[in-house]
Amino acid sequence: MTDPKRFAPVLAKAEELGKRFALTARHYDETGEFPFANFDALHEAGLLGLVTATEHGGLGGGLTDALAVVSAIARGEPSTALVLSMHYNQHYSVRTSGKWPPHLVERVTRANREVWR
């Protein structure tokens, strides 16, 4: 996703979500609960597919895009950003390593598109 015009709305969504996630960050820090609601929101916004290949329903973004989105989320809720960065690392590896069998690539990317948990 090298086109800044195409990426601007994606980043705007991430910034909006980061602000929203800040409202519940203390709760997750104090309880240690997993922020499922935050990942529901990331999924609904299409952000879980940021680095997933376009042919698998993702946005085809790169690591620079991922860094910008993770940073926007981290300003509001660092724990969510940490898990999101791990998610992006794995999905970027699926896309670029060439080591995943095609049937597993399809299975993982389909789960990311349809139901993330």
Longest dimension (CA), the chain: 41
pTM, entire model: 0.91
At the topology level of CATH, where does 4-114 sit?
Butyryl-Coa Dehydrogenase, subunit A; domain 1 (1.10.540)
Q: Is residue 89 within 8 Å of residue 50, measured between CB atoms?
A: no
Tell whether the model's pLDDT for residue 117 goes beyond 60.
no
Query: Smallest Cα–Cα separation from 54: which of 115, 117, 1, 9?
Result: 1
For Cα atoms 25, 20, 70, give the angle at the middle one, nearest 5 degrees: 75
pLDDT tens readout for residues 24-76: 999 999 999 999 999 999 999 999 999 999 999 999 999 999 999 999 999 99
Both tokens assigned to 109: 């990317």
pLDDT tens readout for residues 9-26: 999 999 999 999 999 999
